[in-house]
Structures are given as structure tokens and as C-alpha cells.
Structure 1
Amino acid sequence: MSKKKVLIINQNIAEYRIPILNLLSEYYELTFLHTEPKKYGTKLKFKEKVVANINLPFFSFLKVNLHKYCNQFDVVISEANIRYLDRDMLIINPFRNYKWIGWGIGVSASYDKKFDQNNKFDCVRHFIFKKADANIFYSDYPVEKYISAGFSKESLFVANNTTEVFYDESVNYEKNSILFVGTLYKQKKIYELLKAYKEAAETVNDIMPLNIIGGGEEFENIKSWISQNKLEDKVSLLGPIFDQKLLAKYFRSAYACISPGQAGLSVLTSMGYGAPFVTVKDAITGGEIFNIKNGENGILYNNHSELPDIIKNIAERPDLYVEMGLKAREHYVKSRTPEQMAGAIRDAVDYVISK
């Protein structure tokens, strides 16, 4: 039997998505339509098509006869974003012959707005994506909300957002540090972490070092801050690291990964490597924060004034964080691997094909 033809539409192919997409290509004849230059070559086990993107105020659309192109496929999966005018029109088109699946967070979220904070466009979002044949969410948070809005429960799927980790069981690492990983800009509250670490270091003898991995607009300012506060022997600003083995070493050597302002895919990376994730309860997130069970596999605190005490607690009771790290790793292995995410997407595809 020939494979069903599946098209995924997004603005770009995120590198962390490639393992999931490659897994899907084992079951479907997969094509990815995007707007950026090709750059991954033989890493991809699926076809890609690049088209231009046209941006308007609030809306954007692809410079291609999208309906004609989609007619070549059995199923189309696209990012569930109401700003993509051409995709919105095809979703509500009652005469399309191909099945359509929306895929995304399911609620409003961005780098400057809290998760599900802005719901003024919910009625528009629900009107459009109720016309899709199915919807896939990054977490189970939106499911009940969509059912309450009149969506069929059977048409809603959860492919928990995740990323691949490179965990070598044959190698052991000694826990010896605290970690921050991410682009260095103010929204991630990196200075809250630095100030909290400094406060903790002033009262805890031989506090464990803080490793900061990442580059960005605040890199030089952070470097100056570390020098001005005489923390060069405690805080290492390591810059971006792309070597997966080296990243694995830093994650697995960390008692905890702390990100005061954002809880995105680093939550899953940290858990996959056995480091509990520490963040504020209302951190910017795409739903990944819901993986954290406070005090069990990570820490969710109420406000930033609590962070110095958390860092002190890591230094004074490291055994607690080793145990949380083991539970974080267990959570990842049991329910958040790329194979499990790809499996949930397959469930949605098979559902719409069977309709």
C-alpha cells in the first residue's frame, strides 16, 4: 500500500523538530512547505518546498497558489495561527478535498505576553479551527477549553511538545553546578538570576558555580555585571554551545537548570538530561511549564524574592535536587520522547484519514 501524502506548512523548519519530522516520514510521504532557504540537506528524510512570504499588518500569506498545491496531498497540517490569512481561508473552505489539521499552542502566547493572557481573539480562533478536521496541541491545557467551545473531543489531540536529548547511559557525570541555558535578553529575567545567585553566595560557603550558556544582546552587559560584582570565580559566561555532547555534560552536571522568566523547550531538554527545572509560576511558556510538578521534578516559585532561598536550598540540600532530577528524567523517558510526540501526530493524521 502506498503511503498517504502529508504536507506540513510552517514558516521555517526548526532544527529541534527534525527528529520528529523524520519519524513521521517513515509512515507518510511527507513534504514540508516553508519560507526560509534550505539549510539542513541530508539531515532531512522528507521533501521540502520553499516559497516566498508576504507580510501585511497583522496578517501574512504565502506567495503560492496554496489551494492548488494542497490538492496534491491527502492531509495538510499547519500552524494554528489566525494571522495566516491564506491558511485560514482554506480551513473554512467547504469544498477542499484534502483533510486539514491545525497544530500549535491552542491559546495566545508570545515572548511578551503570559500564556492564555489575551483571549480577545478566542472567538475568531475557535470559528476558524472548528472547521479543521482535527487539532493538535502542544499540551493538554487547551483541550477542555475547546470542548467547552463546541469542538468534538475526538478531533482534539495532544502531541506534547518536546525535543531530542543525547543521553549516553554509559557515561556518568558528577553533579557540581547550577545552569542557565538560553538566549540572553531581559525578558528571560537573567538579571534576577544573577542577583539571586549573588545574594545566596554571600551567605553560603563554597556555593556551587553558576554556568550560563547562550549568546544575545545582553551578553556583554552580563559579562560586565559579573566583573563588577567580583563573581568571575563563581559565574562562567560560556556563550552559545552547539556541541550536543558538551551540552549534555553541562545539563547532566547540573543540580538544577534555572530560568526565571521563560519555560519553553529548555524544560524538556533539562528533564531529559535529569536536571530539575526551576522557574516562576507565571513564566512565559508555550505550555511546556505544565510538565513541572512543584517539589517533585522541578520548582515553581511564586515571585522572584524566593529565588535566593531556592539557590541556597540547592547548595545546602543537593540530595533533594538529585532526586528531583531522577524524577524529571523518568517523566521525559515515560511520556515526552520524540517518538511519543510523533505517535500523537500520527494518531491525528490517521483519524482524519479515516473520517
Structure 2
Amino acid sequence: MKKIILIYPGFPHYRNGIIETLLESKNNKYYFVGDKNGYAGIKPYDFKTIEQFKHCPSYRIGPFFFNKGLIRFALKTKADGIIVHSSPYWISIIIASLIFRLKKTRVINWTHGLLDDKKNTYNKLYYYFFKLFFDGLLLYSNQSKNNLVKLGYKETRANVIYNSLDYKNQIKLRNTLSDHGRNEIRGEMFINPENHQLIFIGRLTSQKRLAFLVNVVKLLKDENININLLFVGEGMEKESLIDLSLKLDIADQVHFYGASYDENNNYRLIVSSDICVAPGEIGLTSIHSLVYGVPVISHSDPNNQMPEFEAIKPGINGALFENGNIEDLKEKIKLVINLIENKSATDLKKDCYKIVDEYYNPDYQLKIIEKAFN
């Protein structure tokens, strides 16, 4: 078995699906190096007493990040392959990568790559960073790969690995909520639970453009289309969103559930809804909804999106509206409602599941990683 080491500043808790899949691999032995306390304020994955994890505390000096003990680890450790998560600011990880490459060990950076197609100085610097310091890339999206190839990056050195959540647990939860249970959940939150229900799940921040959602509910109401809107999350925009719903006289159609970190509960809230909508950028929320059979709407501007928006297939498992255009968002909500009403529930769920089951899951990611070191 090959020894493959993953070096991250810290491992986020939502990477549990792929971490546990790598640990169960029958082909390679995977080891993990990083700060057990996580980084950037993100809740860390708990490796508990797993012997395949080494703690290297992270610290910051100005804009640069370091992991204590990582360079010493790189100097004394042998491996068959290395995967890092690095930007030009992670100095210890860059030095460790160079050490392993000097030892003739293949080093791959698992990264966002380039999220937009601008040919500016910033993107060119990142292009040279990826080209000079690593043997290859694992990328979250085809868009990112295309952006790099347009700048001259060798196509065969970049593999699209997509992204994933706690897929195995989510598959177990699928279809465990009955129609009666779904209606009960809606009835606990809304006066008219028979209305179609939109959901936004995530931090309530200004960059998410959540006022768009409250306003679009009002626009639809003016057309005699009554929609319920469920916010799951907390954030600085909550009070202004409550005030806006009162001002527009639609407070009985907007419910603020609060934050939820329990997957069983998130499943029930997502499945109680008809459509997940993110007026700003959408990331793993799209996968979180599609894996449970709920279609997704977000905007269509790839230069201002997160990689996972590629999972949305217009007219099949959701819709994409023109960025910043609330009238178009309204029309796309009506379009997806029409999709829901004219397609069987079973077929719609299958169309949502398909992209996740094929690409956005840890098993697919494991295949890409093991292929990269074959």
C-alpha cells in the first residue's frame, strides 16, 4: 500500500465524509497533518485518537500562516505521495511541498484554483504559483480548470475532484420523512403550510443578498402566488430581514428558524421545503439540498460563484437566474414551481440525486485521488 499524506492548515468538520472514506481505503494508507484546532474559526474535524493524524499547530504573522513542526516533519518523513491545501500565504506548507518534491515525491495541491476567468495580475500570480510549486492540482470545478488552462496551465496536470459532505449519512436519511411528517413540520412554522416553501440555509450575511428573497416573496404575492420562506441560520442581517418582512406585510410568510448543526434536523427542514434558493453565491448548500432531492436556484455568473453552482442543471434540478436581477429570480422560482407541479415527485428527486451520486460524493473523490497517484 502507498503512503499518502494530506497536509492542511487544519481539517474542517464538514470534511468528515472524505476523511473517513480515505481512512477506509483498501488501496492506500492515508495520513493527515494539520492543526487539530482547525483554522480561520472553522469547527475542526475531530481525529480523536487516530494514529494517522499528526498535530502541527498553526499561527499567523501578518498575512502569512505557519504550522509549527511541519518543516521538521517533512525533512524526516518518507511518503509515496503528498496532497496539500495551500495558497501563497501558507509558508510552512509551501516549504514542506518543496522538500518533498526534492525527495522526488509527487505533491498535489487540492485547491479552488481560479474561480474567475479574468486575465489580471492576481490570477497570473496564482497561475505561476500552481505551476512552479506543485506537480498537479485537484480542483473543485470544471470552471476553475478551464480558467487555468486558458492561462496556459497543462490540462493533464489538473483533475476535477468536485466536493462532498457527509454523503453516507445523508443517503441513510433520504426518504425517511413521510409526507405526513413533512406537512407537520410546515404547519409548525407557517399559518398556510399548503403554500410552496423556499429555504435558505446558511449564515444570514449581506453578501448572501437575502433581502432579494424577502422582496421576491412580496413580488410573487402581488401576482397572487403565495410562497413561504424559511431561513435556517443566524447572522447580522437577521434583524433587518425581520423588519423588511414586517414592512412588506408578509411576516406570516417568512419564518426564522435559527441555526441548526444537527444533520437529522437539517434533513427534515430541507425536505420540508420545495426549493432551496441562494440569491448570492452558493457553495455546498447546493449539494446539501440536491442530495435530499430538493431543487436549487442561484445566480448564473460564474465569476462570482462558488464551485458547487455547477451542480445546478437548469430545467432538470433547478434554475439559474441573471445575477442581480430580482425579476428574473421571480420568473425562475415560477419556472421551478412549474417543474415541481408537472413532474412526478420520484422523477424530480432522481434528477436531483443524479449529479451528487455521480460526482459530488467521497467515493468519486477517492477514485480521483488514487488515480492521481497511480
Amino acid at match of 2:59: I
Amino acid at match of 1:344: I
Q: Deviations over 1:106-131 (max 9, x none)?
A: 115xxxxxx44574233333333224
Report the equivalent of 2:206.
186
Q: Deviations over 1:273-311 (max 9, x none)?
A: 111110111274331111212222211111233223333
Which of 253, 278, 281 is equivalent to 2:297? 278
Q: Mind listing any 5+ residue stretches in structure 2 that lack a counterpart?
A: 39-43, 184-195
Structure 1 pair 156–201 and aligned structure 2 pair: CA distance change class (3 A)? same
Distance 1:269 1:53 in 2: 30
Distance 1:229 1:293 in 2: 32
Structure 1 pair 209–134 and aligned structure 2 pair: CA distance change class (3 A)? same
Structure with the bigger RCO (C-alpha within 8 Å, sep 6+) is 1
Structure 1 pair 68–43 and aligned structure 2 pair: CA distance change class (3 A)? closer
Report the equivalent of 2:111.
104
CA drift of 1:220 comes to 2.8
Amino acid at match of 2:235: G
Amino acid at match of 2:332: I
Q: How does 1:14-33 map to 2 (within 5 A)?
A: 14-27=12-25, 28-33=28-33
- Classify the secondary structure of the residue corresponding to 1:266: helix
Report the equivalent of 1:336.
360
Matched, 1:265 2:281: no
Bigger Cα displacement from structure 2, 65-74 vs 194-203: 65-74
- Classify the secondary structure of the residue corresponding to 1:241: coil
Asked if the contact 1:255/1:325 (under 8 Å) is kept, the reply is: no
Structure 1 pair 36–286 and aligned structure 2 pair: CA distance change class (3 A)? farther
Asked if the contact 1:102/1:136 (under 8 Å) is kept, the reply is: yes
Which of 49, 56, 65 is equivalent to 1:60? 65
Distance 2:334 2:351 in 1: 21
TM-score, structure 2 normalization: 0.80
Report the equivalent of 1:203.
223
Q: How does 1:106-121 map to 2 (within 5 A)?
A: 106-108=113-115, 115-117=116-118, 119-121=120-122
RMSD between aligned alpha carbons? 2.8
Distance 1:98 1:127 in 2: 20
Amino acid at match of 1:264: G
Distance 2:238 2:36 in 1: 27
Q: Mind listing any 5+ residue stretches in structure 1 that lack a counterpart?
A: 109-114
CA drift of 1:101 comes to 0.9
Distance 1:79 1:317 in 2: 40
Report the equivalent of 1:307.
329
Amino acid at match of 1:100: V
Distance 2:50 2:223 in 1: 53
Report the equivalent of 1:134.
136
Asked if the contact 1:263/1:288 (under 8 Å) is kept, the reply is: yes
Asked if the contact 2:140/2:307 (under 8 Å) is kept, the reply is: yes
The structure with more helix, counted as a fraction of residues:
2
Report the equivalent of 2:192.
none
Amino acid at match of 2:69: V
Matched, 1:86 2:106: no
Bigger Cα displacement from structure 2, 169-178 vs 289-298: 169-178
Report the equivalent of 2:260.
241
TM-score, structure 1 normalization: 0.84
Distance 2:110 2:362 in 1: 16
Structure 1 pair 230–46 and aligned structure 2 pair: CA distance change class (3 A)? farther
Distance 1:208 1:65 in 2: 53
Matched, 1:231 2:250: yes
CA drift of 1:46 comes to 6.3
Asked if the contact 1:25/1:46 (under 8 Å) is kept, the reply is: no
Amino acid at match of 2:209: K
Distance 2:288 2:60 in 1: 33
Distance 1:324 1:244 in 2: 22
Distance 2:222 2:51 in 1: 54
Asked if the contact 2:107/2:135 (under 8 Å) is kept, the reply is: yes
Amino acid at match of 1:59: F
Report the equivalent of 1:168.
174
Asked if the contact 1:298/1:324 (under 8 Å) is kept, the reply is: no
- Classify the secondary structure of the residue corresponding to 2:351: helix
Q: Identity across aligned pairs (percent)?
A: 21
Which of 289, 293, 297 is equivalent to 2:309? 289
- Count residues with an aligned counterpart: 341
Amino acid at match of 1:55: R
- Classify the secondary structure of the residue corresponding to 1:8: strand
- Classify the secondary structure of the residue corresponding to 1:262: coil
- Classify the secondary structure of the residue corresponding to 1:209: strand
Distance 1:46 1:298 in 2: 43
Distance 2:314 2:337 in 1: 18
CA drift of 1:49 comes to 2.9
Structure 1 pair 148–209 and aligned structure 2 pair: CA distance change class (3 A)? closer
Structure 1 pair 317–18 and aligned structure 2 pair: CA distance change class (3 A)? closer
CA drift of 1:240 comes to 0.8
